Amino acid sequence: QASTATERGTMTDGKAKTSPKAIKFLFGGLAGMGATVFVQPLDLVKNRMQLSGQGSKAREYKTSFHALVSILRNEGVRGIYTGLSAGLLRQATYTTTRLGIYTVLFEKMTGADGRPPNFLMKALIGMTAGATGAFVGTPAEVALIRMTADGRLPADQRRGYTNVFNALARITREEGLTTLWRGCIPTMARAVVVNAAQLASYSQSKQALLESGYFNDDILCHFCASMISGLVTTAASMPVDIVKTRIQNMRMIDGKPEYKNGLEVLVRVVGKEGFFSLWKGFTPYYARLGPHTVLTFIFLEQMNKLYKTYVLDR
What is d(CA 263, CA 245) in angstroms, rounded to the nearest whole number? Answer: 13
Burial of 210 (0-12, 13-18, 19+ CB in 10 A): middle
pLDDT digits (tens, 9 = 90+) for 210-250: 989 898 888 788 788 878 888 888 888 889 888 888 888 88
In this prediction, residue 18 carries a pLDDT of: 55
pLDDT exceeds 50 at position 157: yes
Query: What beta strand segments (E) does the chain contain?
Result: 252-253, 256-257
In this prediction, residue 56 carries a pLDDT of: 54
- Tell me, rounded to whole angstroms, the distance of Cα 5 from its chain centroid: 15
In this prediction, residue 16 carries a pLDDT of: 39
Phi, psi of 256 (to 5 degrees): -120, 145
Distances (CA, A) of 255 to 168, 172, 173, 175, 206: 21, 17, 16, 11, 51
Question: What whole-number percentage of the chain has pLDDT above 90?
Answer: 15
Residue-range domain boundaries for the chain: 183-280
pLDDT exceeds 90 at position 173: yes
Are the CB atoms for 91 and 83 separated by under 8 Å? no
pLDDT, greater one: 103 or 125: 125
pLDDT exceeds 60 at position 40: yes
Are the CB atoms for 164 and 268 separated by under 8 Å? no
pLDDT band (50, 70, 90) for residue 15: very low
Please give the average per-residue pLDDT across 103-120, as a whole number: 82
pLDDT digits (tens, 9 = 90+) for 118-135: 878 888 888 998 999 999
Are the CB atoms for 66 and 105 separated by under 8 Å? no
225 three-state secondary structure: helix
What is d(CA 32, CA 39) in angstroms, rounded to the nearest whole number? Answer: 10
Average pLDDT, the chain: 82
pLDDT digits (tens, 9 = 90+) for 250-272: 877 777 778 877 888 888 888 88
Strands 252-253 and 256-257: antiparallel
DSSP one-letter code for 52: T
